[in-house]
Structure 1
Amino acid sequence: MDKAVIISSGGNIDTSISVAHENSDTYPNILVLEEGVAVFNDQMELLPLISDFLTHYRKNHSDKSIKTYARNLLYLVKYLTIFDENHIESKRDDCLLTVHSTEIQKYFDYCRKDKNKDGSVKRAIKGKTISNRDATYGSFFSEFLCNPPPGYKLMREEDPYENGSLAGVAKESLIKPALFLDIEALILVANHERERCLVQFMYDSGIRRGEVEGILQANILNLSRNVRQSIIVDHETFQVPSPYVSMEINGNKGRNREAKVRNTVVSKETINRVQKYHSSLEYKKHKRKWGKIPMPAFLNENGNPYNANAVGKLISKLSQRALKFGLIKAPFSPHKIRHGFAAMLLHSEDLGKTNLDRLLLLQQCLGHNSLKNTQKYTKIPIKVWEKFVDSNGIALKRYQLMEKLKNRTRPKKGS
């Protein structure tokens, strides 16, 4: 752990073995250190938020305190990126920009236990140590990240420590999904069809932000062809046209981040919208850049794929914009869009004869190993879905909601 913290008055550090080279051709082999603190994770990637905080904190504290604070923050980041579903795909220490108070409390609960989630034995952390870590996090959020000192940029507005210590036992919190009107608001404030398509696709597929980059144009093209076909719906092989298609997702939430394949269900309305975007001049102009390399389905204005960080920034930008116009009540993260997909599926009666049928389908779509994790979505209040009914008062199916979303957010000419 001590090798992860460099307290320097200058000099160089060798980062040639850092895994950061896998994601960036420009990551240096040698870092030149100024006076300050540099903190690294297990993969020798520099953690900028923690490093900046401790560089500032060092002005009035001993190097021993700096190392203690660094260790405490590294423990939290490691827990979030390994065990917390909302942050597993976070890069470096950006999970600290979105972590909620309840998630920090769950980390403290985990510290108190003598077993890992896989049943293996670990050392339980006692009260004094937990209080020490709690104080570290309080200082980091309240005195730096959410209230930056002169010379540092505001990185986060919501302070998880605004009501004081979080070392108490965590309470089970209800899932708060992004609802249909929230998604519609994000799409309405988007300036480009590439952004509108991405938001609708995430809402209709339930994919994680880190999985967007792996969706290829060829995948969408194949699905677009499949929506014109019929499917077998029962043991008598009776065939009917389906408003949905099954899509394979190569997730990265298995052990050691290996690919974990699952299938989700996407409506043909969303696939058709993305396919139409692929026919646009904007998308076609990037084709020369990719050549024979498989093209990602979603590209930014520079023709680069949306990675997890870019997706997070896009949703944050659109969320803040919608909030400014009074279209939503609070900003939200990409994972709340995934929650919205789950809630919508559970209330679409054409996707299963019983609640259990839909719950089992949702487990498969989300890639949960345990049905217990999926059952959390059954506690979401259903009254919000009563607004979406047809002229006969019958609740709209999921594919009908996606058609409505596509039509109500149809791009204007030239966008």
Structure 2
Amino acid sequence: MKVLAVQAKTLDLSESPVLEERGVDQTQLQGQQRFTGAAVFDDDERLLPLASGFLTHGLQNALISYQSCLTYGKNIGYTHDFLIGLREFADCERDSAFLDVRTYAIEEYFSHLREDQDLSTKTIRNRDSSLMAFFNKYLCRGVDDTPAPRSAANPYAEGLLSPRPLRNLVAACSVADLKELMLSTKSERERCLLQFIFDTGVRRSEVPRVTLAAIDDALDFQNSLFISAGVSEAINADYCPLYIAGSKGHSDQIKPRTTLVSRATLQRLKKYHSSPLYKMYRKQFGKADETPAFLNAEGTAYTPNSVTKLLDRVSTRALSSRRIAKKISPHKLRHGNAYAMLRSPDIGTDHLDRLVAVQKTFGHSDLSTTEVYTHIPYDLYQKLLRPGTETKTKAGEMEELVKQTRLRIDIGDSK
């Protein structure tokens, strides 16, 4: 099974076997065409027309994002593979089994995933959601003035078919683990990035969109002095607002938000941006709002995959030297930020204040999403902390981390 998708991509389709199979007159295609669409193929490399039509319609009408398109396609393809293995669907043409399948067969598929493949309830619910979208938005409802492909009753008329997924405890990266990760690379550039992801809680997909201008704006705020009641001297803020061009917007749209970054992290980034190495690479970009805040060893912007590879590389080193117990992914750094905020006494006056702060900085539309971090009661969580750490602030932890891990970037450094 294979899923292919393109979004506003220029392609030469004049000799496409897919279009020929779908009855498109190829003589009308001249030169290269801009194309948005998707295709799902079975193990024999045959096109599955129903699944492909659903995904293509979703992409072309901005109903689903590119990543969701790939996820839906794989989940539908997995279901198709199971259905054609059943005796009643053995003679079905392509993915026509979806036109006749009844509720019991889909429930049998979920039982197979749970009992035979030992998949988690969360994974099963993910596949269930993909199938419900396929049936509700395409198979059982006509699109573009065409009749619905399926005439049989909708198996999803009453909603999802799988049990509610179990909520697992969040696996987070601690500040101690973050320090060991940073010590596992000799690059100050990489250490800056690791601390930034942890301190801001950004997703890996958001890293490439963090600009030099956004960092400069946060630094300008950091340079401001604030006077509070009962204090005679002006002080600098320990945290600064940072603009994030966030992911998770509808259909690949950007969902902006503001997060909090510690002053120590900003000052570390300022020194990185002042290094000859960064200045040399940034010349290829235009204005500050077009310049990535983080550049890799080749002088180009990080990609989400390169962020994952960085964490995989330094985690492997830290594991081999027994600095950490388990591999750490980019999202575990994000989870670590949430817990750091929840235990920081200077963020809000109580636990609920801090929970709301996490919700806002993470861009969660509903507080219930943020409450995943409260599976361990907060008072018990505090007692589980090492003695003497209860009053440490997130800003203070980041400042201490800089002192313990910062490397000098010399003129001759190439990374």
| TM-score, scaled to structure 2 | 0.64
Q: 1:58 to 1:235 in 2, by over 3 A?
A: farther
Q: Which residue of structure 2 lines up, in the alignment, with residue 199 of structure 1?
A: 194
Deviation at 1:225, TM superposition (A): 2.9
Q: 1:322: how far off?
A: 1.8
**C-alpha contact (below 8 Å) 1:388/1:395 kept by paired residues:** no
- Name the CA distance, whole Å, in 1 between partners of 2:51 and 2:216: 48
Instruction: Work out which of the residue numbers 180, 183, 190 in structure 1 matches 2:178.
Output: 183
The equivalences for 1:1-400 within 5 A come to 18-19=6-7, 21=9, 29=12, 43-44=36-37, 57-58=43-44, 67=48, 93=70, 101-108=120-127, 110=129, 124-125=155-156, 170-231=165-226, 240-292=235-287, 294-380=290-376, 382=381, 386-387=385-386, 389=388, 395-400=391-396
Partners of 2:407 and 2:387 lie apart in 1 by 22
Bigger mean CA offset, 182-191 vs 340-349: 182-191
Distance in 1, matches of 2:122 and 2:156, equals 17
The separation in 2 between residues aligned to 1:107 and 1:320, in whole angstroms, is 29
Bigger Cα displacement from structure 2, 211-220 vs 286-295: 286-295
Structure 2 counterpart SS, 1:249: strand
Residue 237 of structure 1 and its aligned partner are, at CA, apart by: 12
Q: Distance in 1 between matches of 2:362 and 2:309?
A: 23
Count of residue correspondences: 326
Shift in CA distance, 112/292, structure 1 to aligned 2, threshold 3 Å: closer
Q: Secondary structure at the match of 2:365?
A: coil
SS of the aligned residue for 2:295 comes to coil
Shift of 1:216: 1.2
Q: CA deviation at 1:356?
A: 1.1
d(CA) in 2 for partners of 1:226, 1:215: 17
Q: Contact 2:7 / 2:66 at 8 angstroms: preserved in 1?
A: no
Cα distance between partner residues in 2 of 1:410 and 1:290: 26
Deviation of the 1:359 alpha carbon: 1.1
Identity among equivalent positions (%) equals 29
Gaps of 5+ in 2: 18-34, 75-118, 142-153
Letter in 2 for 1:331: K
Query: AA paired with 2:381?
Result: I
Task: Return the letter of the residue paired with 1:371.
Answer: L
Alignment match, 1:161: none
Q: Is the 8 A contact 1:203 1:338 kept in 2?
A: yes
Task: Indicate how the Cα distance of structure 1 residues 5 and 311 shifts in structure 2: closer, same or farther if over 3 A, else same.
Answer: closer
> Equivalent residue of 1:248, what SS?
strand
Cα distance between partner residues in 1 of 2:363 and 2:239 = 18
Q: Give me the whole-angstrom Cα distance separating, in 1, the residues matched to 2:267 and 2:295.
A: 17
* Deviation of 1:406 (Å): 1.2
For 2:385, what is the secondary structure of its paired residue? Answer: helix
Compared CA separation, residues 377 and 305, structure 1 to 2 (3 A): same
Indicate the structure (1 or 2) with the bigger Cα radius of gyration.
2
What do residues 146-182 of structure 1 show as CA deviations (whole Å, max 9, x unaligned)? xxxxxxxxxxxxxxxxxxxxx7763211111111122
Cα displacement (A) at 1:300:
0.7
Q: Deviations over 1:203-231 (max 9, x none)?
A: 00011111111111122123223212224
Partner in structure 1 of residue 91 of structure 2: none
Whether contact under 8 Å (2:243, 2:257) holds in the other structure is yes
Is the Cα contact below 8 Å between 1:248 and 1:262 reproduced in 2? Answer: yes
- Provide the C-alpha distance between the structure 1 equivalents of 2:201 and 2:331, rounded to a whole number of angstroms: 9
Name the SS for the 2:256 alignment partner: strand
Q: 1:377 to 1:5 in 2, by over 3 A?
A: closer
Q: CA RMSD in A?
A: 4.5
Q: Distance in 2 between matches of 1:43 and 1:300?
A: 31
Q: Give the AA of the match of 1:368.
A: H
Please list the CA deviations of residues 253-283 of structure 1 after superposition, one character each: whole Å capped at 9, or x if unmatched. 2222322221111100000111111111211
The aligned counterpart of 1:409 is 405
Query: Which deviations, in whole Å up to 9, do the C-alpha atoms of 1:57-102 show, x marking residues without a partner?
Result: 549xxx5xx849988xx89xx9xxx99xxxx895985999xxx845
* Cα deviation, residue 234, structure 1: 7.3
Counterpart Cα distance in 1 of 2:285 and 2:339: 37
Q: In structure 2, do the counterparts of structure 1 residues 383 and 112 end up closer, same or farther at CA, with 3 Å as the change threshold?
A: farther
Contact 2:212–2:292 at 8 Å: present in 1 too? yes
* 8 Å CA contact 1:111, 1:124 repeated in 2: no
Identify if the C-alpha distance between structure 1 residues 383 and 102 changes in structure 2 by more than 3 Å, giving closer, same or farther: farther
Listed as ranges, the gaps of 5+ residues in structure 1 are 7-14, 22-26, 35-41, 131-166
Q: Find the aligned partners of 1:196 and 1:216 in 2 and give their Cα distance.
A: 18
C-alpha distance 210-387 of structure 1, shift in aligned 2 (>3 A): same
